[in-house]
Chains A and B, each alone.
Chain A
Amino acid sequence: MARRIHQPTNTIAKTPTGIAGLDEITEGGLPKGRSTLICGTPGVGKTLFGLEFILRGAMDFKEPGVIISFEERPEDLETNMASLGFDLKKLQKSGAIVIDHVHVERSEYEETGEYDLEGLFIRLNHAIDTIGATRVMLDTIENLFAGLTNEGILRAELRRLFGWLKSKGVTTVITAEKGEGTLTRQGLEEYVSDCVILLDHRVINQLSTRRLRVIKYRGSIHGTNEYPFLIDEDGISVLPITSLQLNNEVSSQRVSSGVQALDVMLGKKGFFRGSSILVSGTAGTGKTSLAATFANASCKRRERCLYFAFEESPQQIIRNMRSIGMDLQAHVDAGLLQFHASRPTLYGLEMHLVSIHKKIKTFKPKTVILDPITNLITAGLLSEVKSILVRLIDFLQAEGITVLFTALNLNNMFNEQTDEGVSSLVDAWITIRDIEIDGERNRGLYIIKSRGMKHSNQIRELVITDEGVNLEDVYLGPDGILTGSARIAHQLAEQSIKRTNKATNGKNK
């Protein structure tokens, strides 16, 4: 698996989990030969987390693993994991994993004095030795407390178990349910103290987001933030939110915006590759058309483009763009253009970010379009949207991907904030305003900023024709700024003057 794993030599040895993103946060994985506690509320994905550690280990790293399930029966695990594309049966047959279901039914047993959990040790030892396992998962060992009553014995035995696992040299993942005010119901964190990861499931504004936090990691530095994670058909993906380090490599290569006149405005060459571009404007000013033109230009350069639509469906965009002479379908068919349409309220902002990340990682585009980012506000607060965009821009810049956002401005102060929030982050900011003169509404485009290049400070008129988007010079005459039909009239008048002049000149010769 090709993954950027930065592993300093002076820290403890680590076992990669293979879970997307987690190895970056933990700088290499879980502590090798030690125990890691995964705790969290019900339904947060603890079991899946542990299982993925074992299964990825068995499949990607050739490290056999033992799963001791105190909760679900092997058949149930098989069915559950099949939905994520893991074939547990096959892995068991090939000796890559062993699953043992340990269950103690309280009603079946009578306690008549001192006992120990030697039976569990023997089973575990047997399982580890049969396949030479280096990874072990104990799924909700706290269930033993429901089956056996002597807490004193259990605690002593658990302590012995974790010590034994360590001496055995296996990397262990232990899952446990979060208790009231404590990390786990039975205080397992007392015994397992090398690494503790907390999973959390929160619902804010009716939108749920799963988050992960490394609470503790002995002998290693680790990310301390809360990282959102996503469970989908490929398992778990954690999104490492790197702080803005501002040391990304920059490119001085230029990419065309797809509109020649706009490129001219941008120092005659267009945007910088890997830069972030914001196109803002009021409703119906052609933001999406401009974005689609940029996407089209990218595809024409044979560079992949990923288009995230939060407002319109891909079919709608393709149809609409066809009306202005752009055949996006051809690019989709050629595999150069990919659309991802989702409602902003589908899930929380963090999840949007995770899913955007993931799609970018798989499709590896050169250009990314987000249309429009304003809609994301319905999924979160303004400040959150900003922080998401900061992280997204950071990520895209690190990958050298050019990104174009569109943002809707209402004609009031409310949404200006989005601009302000993002404008300091983006490299180029183009805005389109309505110019209302003589009973006409025309679109005026100007560049507010474009870092690192000479750019035009003039307002141009954005015209959308059957052949696509174009810019016309705005006429500055004695009557002021002329747009729309006034401009055309002026142009015609000028042309006729020229013609008359020519004719007169000819006569004079």
Chain B
Amino acid sequence: MGDNYVLRLIVAGASPNSTRAIANIKEICEAHLKDRYTLEIIDIYQQTALAKEQAIVALPLLVKRAPLPERKLIGDLSQTAKVLKILGLTG
């Protein structure tokens, strides 16, 4: 068993990028982090002030809040190998 993962995915409504990103992260989590992750999905349209607070420019944005170090990934997370590597889920 590895560390417990805390992930936050920020998307913009139901855009194609958002939908793809949500599907991709769920798939990755289920495959590699079963039962040891929390995934929070935020729709930026519901919390517009957050954009400035978090200095958000590009979306979708995935933030790995735990385990440290914090990492930020932008994009629809379709490059699975890269995502896994950054999240520390390979080898």
Contact = CB atoms under 8 A, between A and B. Distances in A.
A126 B44 contact: no
Name A's interface SS.
Answer: mixed
A122 B45 CA distance: 8
A111 B77 CA distance: 8
Interface stretch (A98-106, A165-173, A387-395, A428-436): A98-106
B82 A116 contact: no
Could you say which interface size class chain B belongs to? 20 to 34
A112 B76 contact: yes
B90 interface: no
A110 B82 contact: yes
A119 interface: yes
B82 A117 contact: no
A144 B74 contact: no
A112 B78 contact: yes
B34 interface: no
Interface string B63-91: 00000000111111111001100100000
Interface residues of A, number: 26
Contacts of B10: 119
Interface in A108-141: 108-120, 122-123, 125-127
A120 B74 CA distance: 14
A114 B59 contact: no
A415 to B, nearest CB: 62
Contacts of B44: 118-119, 122
A231 interface: no
Contacts of B12: 116, 118-119, 122
A101 B51 CA distance: 12
A101 B54 CA distance: 11
Interface of B: 10, 12, 15-17, 20-21, 24, 44-45, 48-49, 51-52, 55-62, 71-79, 82-83, 86
Interface of A: 100-104, 108-120, 122-123, 125-127, 144, 147-148
Given A101-B55, A104-B57, 4 more contacts: A118-B59, A120-B58, A148-B58, A148-B74
